[in-house]
Amino acid sequence: MSWTIERRGRVAVVTMTTNPVNAQNRAFFADLHDAFDRLERDHADSPVVLTGTGSRFSAGLDLDEHFPLFAGHPEALTPWFQEYRATNMRLFTYPRPTVAAVNGHAFAGGLITAAVCDHRIAVAERARFGLNEVPIGIPMPAVYVRMLTHAWGAPVASRACLLGEVFTPEQAHALGMVHELAPAGDLLDRAVALAGRIPEDCVEQYAFTKRALQAGVLRDIAELADPLDRELSAVMTSDRARDAHRRTWEQLKGRPAEW
């Protein structure tokens, strides 16, 4: 289901609507690229607010799709990972202001999607945030570790990636994972106001400065993270990883894995 794009003044509000919890799968990847194709075509100079619906921003990888994939041949993961990597790289390098209006829970890949936006405002109540990849047998891709380090600083990125902790909005704000908290009813208005702070005649200067800030990150991704991620498939499909995937599946679904 294509994501909605609504203009609020000069700001484009993009609402993720792939599925009720925005679980990230190939349909989600396609919807993200479709939305940013439309932004580039129809709203080229618009700052962007990215948000979800209901009580979820994004639940992260769709385990119904991905655990069976991870149980297969390692070579099958290479094209999948390139698709997945391309979504967050596109968002990370988008040459206009991007603000994540984190309307609810954001886990794993969903939290990464929020983190690669330039600015993050989260709902002040009920939401929880965390990167649970390592405790369920999924190695954190090096490309994402580098982007998270850029967004949060190395100590916070290390703590979040390695330990799989779940954070309240207050904890996430104190750690710098989100820049601001807002009541649910004010979240979108606040995000739109922030996204529109850069004057219309200064968006090219914003884009240049963003590229300059990210230059070291992109160099590290090309020279360090990408070579390391060539090992990702083997680590993700090892026997121990698959045992962890089955354990997680049984805990979530209440039945043995069929793959």
Domains and their CATH numbers in the chain: 4-200 (3.90.226.10)
Task: Give the model confidence (pLDDT) of 170-217 as tens digits.
Answer: 999 999 999 999 999 999 999 999 999 999 999 999 999 999 999 999
Phi, psi of 48 (to 5 degrees): -125, 135
Largest distance between two CA atoms of the chain:
57
Q: 13 pairs with which residues across the strands?
A: 6, 49
For residue 221, CA distances in Å to 30, 78, 113, 146, 215 come to 23, 17, 17, 7, 10
- The average pLDDT across 221-232 equals 96
- The average pLDDT across 18-42 equals 97
Active centre residues (catalytic): 133
Mean pLDDT of the chain: 97
Start-end of H helices in the chain: 26-42, 63-70, 77-92, 109-115, 142-152, 154-163, 169-175, 187-195, 203-220, 226-229, 232-236, 239-253
Instruction: Give, as one character, the DSSP assignment of residue 74.
Output: G
Task: Give the model confidence (pLDDT) of 147-175 as tens digits.
Answer: 999 999 999 999 999 999 999 999 999 99
- Supply the pLDDT for residue 1: 61
Q: What percent of the chain has pLDDT over 70?
A: 100
User: If DSSP codes are grouped into helix, strand and coil, which group holds residue 46?
Assistant: coil
Q: What percent of the chain has pLDDT over 90?
A: 98
- The average pLDDT across 41-52 equals 97
